[in-house]
Chains A and B, each alone.
Chain A
Amino acid sequence: MKVKVRLFGHLREYRPGNYSNNSESEVEIESGSTIIDLARKLEIPEKELSFALILVNARQADSRKKLSADDVVSFVTISDGG
């Protein structure tokens, strides 16, 4: 199945080659895959996920969450202050 992936902040360096101008790319993953599986496919080290806000269709999700086809998964930086 395909999901859409968006990567920003400290995780932008893991954007796949087909990353488009509208800041996302489609990634093929096996059905039943979790966010951790997707992160492995994108070669994001697991420790980096501790610092990431992971959103599935804009809602914060645990990295063990199973994904569905056409989900939009955003990996962004957790920020508190400023």
Chain B
Amino acid sequence: MKGINGKILKVDLSRREYTVDEKGEGFYRKYIGGRGFALYYMHKEMDPKVDPFSPENMLVFAGSILVGAQGPAIPRLTVCGKSPLTGAFGESEAGGFWAPELKKAGYDAVVVTGRAEKPLYLWIKDGEVEFRDASHLWGKVTGEVQEIIREEHGDRQIHVAQIGPGGENLVRFGNISNKLGHFNGRCGLGAVMGSKNLKAIAVRGTKNIELAERDKVLELNRWTAKDGMQTSQGKRLHKSGTWTTVRSNHEAGALPTRNWNKGQFSGVDKIADESWQESIAREGRGCFACPIRCKRVVEVDDDIKVDPAYGGPEYETVGSLGSTLEIDSKKIIAKANELCNKYTLDTISTGMTIAFAMECYENGLLTREDCDGLEVKFGNGEAALSLIDKIAHREGIGDLLAEGSMRAAEKIGQGAEKYVHQVKGQEVPMHDPRVKTGVGLQYALAGYGADHMKAPHDTGFASENSNGFKTLRPLGLDKPVDPLSLSADKVRLFYNLEVYWTLIDILGCCCFGYVPVGPVSLEQLLELIKAVTGEHISLKELMEAAERSIDMARVFNNKIGLTRKDDRLSDKFFEDFSDGPLTGTGGIDRKEFEQAVELFYRMMNWDPQTLEPERSKLAKMGISWIRED
């Protein structure tokens, strides 16, 4: 098979040793990449019951069979490990440049175990691996670290996946940054790096990856750059990135506001797409070889300074550090985003944890004294910025909040848990399941905690004219489904969409490049895979690989002891809206939701109580070995 190195780097930080695992074509074809690679090693070589902060936890940095090829939107770096936030299988994808660079450096993935005695970073260049002292980097923010490592090696093209103080200080939602503006944001995997005393992995590769039909790959990228960028999706993503969602959700009465107590924000005009475009937005950036360049960049240079090197807030961040906190100052949101990025804190969990603290404060569960003299009220941007500093350094109230909102509520007691909105301990993202029930299914069912990127959202499948329905029809979608429905048709739609989106993830593709969100079609995706690998891999085989990885994640969680009660959606979403156009309506019917969840388990051939896949299902997927215990 072309397009791969056939080599996976395995690093033991405790022994300061590494080995190279050479895998044949069968492995790549079966597991494809991303979580597929990661779960293979996590099942084979780690005890799922270990403490996430123990040396025995594994952290896998994975590309895929496609990553590294100069095709459209295939830059993704998947990081997996046991999550300190959820205590379950953890996974997060990032864009950027690191995964393609690793591939050029000779490896398809890096599997890290152990704990270094002192802070170090890994330096991987063209197949060579060095353990380098990082004591001079510990405590530094990401911009400084990237600069120092590049200086040390005299090479500006080095790419660095790294943690700042948030990861070092084991903030349970610490993330991993590459090129300062791309993040493996969720599940607290940056804190796992911190627990291993692993400050960074720096990579540089100068070799080209051999592709089966390089010209064809480049032709597909040229199509995306020219014709694809003329499509509505291409134009919109390039111009506005994800910012248009602020207005979309507000118009639907479902923009998370004041810790989800409201669905519309009075300050929306100040934080919607147009407002950013007309003020502090700068030219957007992109990822490796991708012509779409959807990444936002902002710059502020007055009483508050915001460094454009750290990119800009995406929709999720505008929601979590803006409307959710009732902050309508773009400068504050931009600064909050920059601080999270420098310190490597996930902006969703950071914002949601601060929103939780604000609601506790407003209701007398936290006092000014508890909060180190800060007035932690909704709308107080200065307090939010101070809290981000405190969380990253675990100072004062920040030490409590660094545990995440669920654990903080347990410590505060007094009923504080009613202000927490999470699944498996991971704070919910900025899409309201009350206006698109499939999003509720993703939040509840994602093995790695509430996530909004597990499947395309219901809104694109509501009519035969919807772009989502039209472009993904070859997956077997037979009819449009109402966004509010929880019928068997909705569960079937969700099942197909989840498997497809998982496929996009394990291929290392970005969902903003491919249908239904991006311009590249299913047919073009299959052409691309053939052009990179030289192999005819059918859609059926690919979808099966994706479903296999979903089963593998589920079994990993089975082994830890997670059950149906862990797939529980926050109570908030079963309540009606209390403001805006949907006042008095919207609450999801709990019984219908539970029935839909159960139907999904049955579609997956998982026991509806224990969630164990049937043995025959594992045999069908060719992974009986993961349950040989």
A→B interface (CB under 8 Å): 6, 8-10, 12, 23, 47-51, 53, 55, 57-60, 62-64, 72, 74, 76-82
Q: How far is the CB of B458 from chain A (nearest CB, A)?
A: 9
Task: Name the residue among A51, A55, A63, A72 with the largest chain B CB count within 10 angstroms.
Answer: A51
Q: How far is the CB of B406 from chain A (nearest CB, A)?
A: 23
Partner of A6 from the list B251, B253, B269 (CB cut-off 8 Å) is: B251
Whether A77 contacts B251 in the complex (CB less than 8 A), given A60-B462, A63-B465, comes out as no
A58→B248 contact, CB < 8 A: no
Task: Name the residue among B236, B244, B452 with the largest chain A CB count within 10 angstroms.
Answer: B244
Confirm or deny: B582 has a beta carbon within 8 angstroms of a beta carbon on chain A.
yes
* Contact residues in B for A53 (Cβ distance below 8 Å): 248, 251-252, 459
B244→A8 contact, CB < 8 A: yes
Interface bits B228-268 vs A (CB < 8 Å: 1, else 0): 00001101100011101101100111000000000000000
Q: How far is the CB of A11 from chain B (nearest CB, A)?
A: 9
A58→B582 contact, CB < 8 A: yes
Partner of A9 from the list B248, B252, B581 (CB cut-off 8 Å) is: B248
A-B contact pairs, 30 of them (CB 8 A): A8-B248, A8-B273, A9-B244, A9-B247, A9-B273, A23-B269, A50-B232, A50-B465, A50-B466, A50-B470, A51-B467, A53-B252, A55-B251, A55-B252, A58-B580, A58-B581, A60-B459, A62-B462, A62-B463, A63-B463, A63-B465, A76-B248, A77-B236, A77-B240, A79-B242, A79-B245, A80-B452, A80-B456, A80-B517, A82-B314
Confirm or deny: B379 has a beta carbon within 8 angstroms of a beta carbon on chain A.
no
Whether A8 contacts B247 in the complex (CB less than 8 A), given A51-B232, A58-B582, A80-B511, comes out as yes
Separation of A59 and B582 alpha carbons in the complex (Å) = 8
* Contact residues in A for B253 (Cβ distance below 8 Å): 58
Partner of B244 from the list A23, A57, A60, A77 (CB cut-off 8 Å) is: A77
Whether A51 contacts B233 in the complex (CB less than 8 A), given A80-B517, A81-B242, comes out as yes
* Contact residues in B for A60 (Cβ distance below 8 Å): 252, 435, 459, 462, 483
Separation of A34 and B428 alpha carbons in the complex (Å) = 36
* Contact residues in A for B460 (Cβ distance below 8 Å): 78, 80
Question: Which residue from chain A places its CB closest to the CB of B468 in the assembled complex?
Answer: A78
A10→B232 contact, CB < 8 A: yes
B236→A51 contact, CB < 8 A: yes
Task: Name the residue among A6, A9, A79 with the largest chain B CB count within 10 angstroms.
Answer: A79
How many chain B residues touch A (CB < 8 A): the figure is 43
Confirm or deny: B274 has a beta carbon within 8 angstroms of a beta carbon on chain A.
yes
* Contact residues in A for B240 (Cβ distance below 8 Å): 9-10, 77
Separation of A12 and B247 alpha carbons in the complex (Å) = 11
A78→B581 contact, CB < 8 A: no
Separation of A77 and B516 alpha carbons in the complex (Å) = 13
Known A-B contacts: A58-B582, A82-B315. Give 18 more (CB < 8 A). A10-B240, A23-B269, A47-B232, A50-B232, A50-B470, A53-B252, A58-B252, A58-B253, A60-B435, A60-B459, A64-B463, A77-B236, A77-B240, A77-B244, A78-B248, A79-B245, A81-B315, A82-B245
* Contact residues in A for B456 (Cβ distance below 8 Å): 80
A77→B435 contact, CB < 8 A: no
Partner of A81 from the list B236, B517, B581 (CB cut-off 8 Å) is: B517
Confirm or deny: B626 has a beta carbon within 8 angstroms of a beta carbon on chain A.
no
* Contact residues in A for B409 (Cβ distance below 8 Å): none
